[in-house]
Structure 1
Amino acid sequence: MRGISRRSVVALGVTGLVAPLGLALGAAPAQAASCTTQAGPYQKQVEKFLGRPVDGRQSAADCKAIQAFQTKHGITPNIGYAGSVTWGVMDLMNKQKAVGDKPNRAGRCPVDKGRIACVDLTVQLSWIQDGGRLVYGPVPVRTGRNGYETRTGLKKIYWRDIDHVSSLYHVSMPYSQFFDGGQAFHSVGLSMWNPPGSHGCVNMTTKDAKSYWSLLKKGDDVFVYGRKPGT
C-alpha cells in the first residue's frame, strides 16, 4: 500500500489495477481449541461484557463463553484466555455502541460537500451523509492494520468494480469502490472485528457494501480521519 499514489494507480488503467494492495486478509475463525484454566489480565472486564458472574476467576463456563466469542471473531489463539486482544475487541464494540445514531456529533467529517462517506478510524465506523442528514449507518468496518494503515484525508471515489478480484491475493473483493490508490470500500467474509485488520481497504459486511454501492457513485467524496487502535 505504501508509496502508491492515486495518480500512479490511475495511470495503470482499469485493466492494470487487478491487485490493489488495499485488500483485506484475515484468518478464518479457528477450530475450537482446549480451554485454559488461567484467568487473564482482563478477566473481570470480559466477564462483564459477556454477562458472566464478575469474580475475576476463570471457570469452565467462563472459558467456553470467551472461547465462543474468540472463535466467532477469528481471535487466536481461541483458548478462552481473557487477554488484551480479546478485551480490545470488546472495548471497541462498547465504544461503537456508545456512538449511537449521531456518528458525526463532533463535526469532524465535513458536511458541506453534499453526499460524503465518512470513516472514523478511531472507533472503526463508517456512514454516509448528505449535507447534515445521516443517510446510512453508522456501521462497523475493518480498516488497515499496523503498517498498512488506511490513509486519512479527503478523497473521491474514482473507480467502481462490483466483481473485483485481486490477482495479488487471488481473492474476491465484491462491491469495490476505490478512493485512494488501491484502497477501497468492499465486502469480506470475515467478522468486522477480526484482528489485526485489512491491508488498507475499508472492509464491510456484504449487506453494508451493497448499500454503499447503491448510495454512492464515482466522484462522491470520502473522508477518513482518526487512528485505528493498535496502529
Structure 2
Amino acid sequence: MELEDRSDDVRELEARLHQLDWLAAEWVDGYYGTTTREGVNGFQARRGMPRLGYVDAATWDRLVAMTRTPTRAELYPPKPTPAPNASALDSRCTTGRAICVDKSTRTLRWVVDGSVRLSMDVRFGCPSSPTREGAFTVRAKVLDGYSNFYDTRMPFSLFFSGHQAVHYSDDFAARGYNGCSHGCVNVRSWDTLSQLFNEARVGDKVIVYWS
C-alpha cells in the first residue's frame, strides 16, 4: 500500500494505526493520503524500521502482530460533528476572495464570493507566540517554505503577517492538538492545503477572528 491508494486494505491499515495512536479516527477512510503516510512513517521509525512511507511486508506483519482485527465501528468511524457555529462566516469573508480563519472552531475556510470552496482543520500559536487576529492579505506564497529559526519545514506557506503564515504542519498531522505553533496557522491536511495554495493569489484577504 502506498500514496494515493484507495481500498479496503488501506482502511484496515488505518484502523490498525489508529489502535496504536498513530492516526486519528477521522482519517480512517480507505484513502492513503499524506496523513496516512505520516502515520506509517511514524510507526516504522518507532520500531527501528526504514521510513519507507509505504507498507511493505515487514511493516504489515509487524503492525498485524501488534494490533487486533478491527471492528466494523473502527473501520467505519462516525464522521466528526461540526461545531454549532461552524457555518457562521465573519462578514469580511463574505465578499471577494478570502482565507477565513475561525479560531473558535479551529477551522480555515477558503471562500470565494460568499461560497465556501474548501474547509480544513487548523491550530494556532502558543500563548507565548499567539497567532495575530485581524484583516490581512496574502503577501507571499512559498511552495517549499522552511523556518531556519525553528528548523522546521513549512510546505505551502501563505504569508499574511510578518513571519506568520498558513502552512502544512508535520507535527499537527502527527500529534493533532497536542501542541501549538510559533504563531503560524498550522494545517493538518496536505491535500486540501495544496489545493488552496494553487488557487489562492497574492493579495487575497486573510481574516483571522473569533466567532
TM range (shorter): 0.5 to 0.7
Question: Aligned to 1:209, what secondary structure does the other structure show?
Answer: helix
Aligned pairs (5 A) from 1:96-115: 97-99=81-83, 103=86, 105-115=87-97
1:68 Cα offset (Å) = 4.0
Indicate conservation of the 8 Å contact 1:115/1:221, yes or no.
yes
| Residues 1:196 and 2:179 are matched in the alignment | yes
Find the aligned partners of 1:114 and 1:98 in 2 and give their Cα distance.
Answer: 25
Picking from 109, 119, 124, the partner of 1:127 is 109
RMSD over aligned Cα atoms = 3.1
Instruction: Specify whether residues 215 and 109 from structure 1 end up closer, same or farther in structure 2 by C-alpha distance, changes over 3 A only.
Output: farther
Instruction: Specify whether residues 106 and 194 from structure 1 end up closer, same or farther in structure 2 by C-alpha distance, changes over 3 A only.
Output: closer
Find the aligned partners of 1:67 and 1:196 in 2 and give their Cα distance.
Answer: 21
Q: Which amino acid aligns with 1:117?
A: I
Q: Which runs of 5+ in 2 are unaligned?
A: 1-17, 25-77
Q: Which has the higher contact order (CA 8 A, sep 6+)?
A: 1
Tell me the TM-score normalized by structure 2: 0.58
| Cα offsets for 1:128-171 (capped at 9, x unmatched) | 1112211111x111211212111111100001111112111222
Q: Which residue of 2 is the match for residue 206 of structure 1? A: 190
Percent sequence identity over aligned pairs: 27
In the alignment of these two chains, the number of paired residues is 141
Tell me the TM-score normalized by structure 1: 0.53
Instruction: Specify whether residues 68 and 110 from structure 1 end up closer, same or farther in structure 2 by C-alpha distance, changes over 3 A only.
Output: same
Q: Which amino acid aligns with 2:116?
A: L
1:187 Cα offset (Å) = 0.9
Higher helix share: 2
| Residues 1:220 and 2:204 are matched in the alignment | yes
| Residues 1:117 and 2:99 are matched in the alignment | yes
Instruction: Specify whether residues 111 and 131 from structure 1 end up closer, same or farther in structure 2 by C-alpha distance, changes over 3 A only.
Output: farther
Instruction: Specify whether residues 197 and 67 from structure 1 end up closer, same or farther in structure 2 by C-alpha distance, changes over 3 A only.
Output: farther
| Cα offsets for 1:3-50 (capped at 9, x unmatched) | xxxxxxxxxxxxxxxxxxxxxxxxxxxxxxxxxxxxxxxxxxxxxxxx
Find the aligned partners of 1:147 and 1:123 in 2 and give their Cα distance.
Answer: 21
Q: Which residue of 1 is the match for residue 127 of structure 2? A: 146
Instruction: Specify whether residues 111 and 120 from structure 1 end up closer, same or farther in structure 2 by C-alpha distance, changes over 3 A only.
Output: closer
Instruction: Specify whether residues 164 and 191 from structure 1 end up closer, same or farther in structure 2 by C-alpha distance, changes over 3 A only.
Output: closer
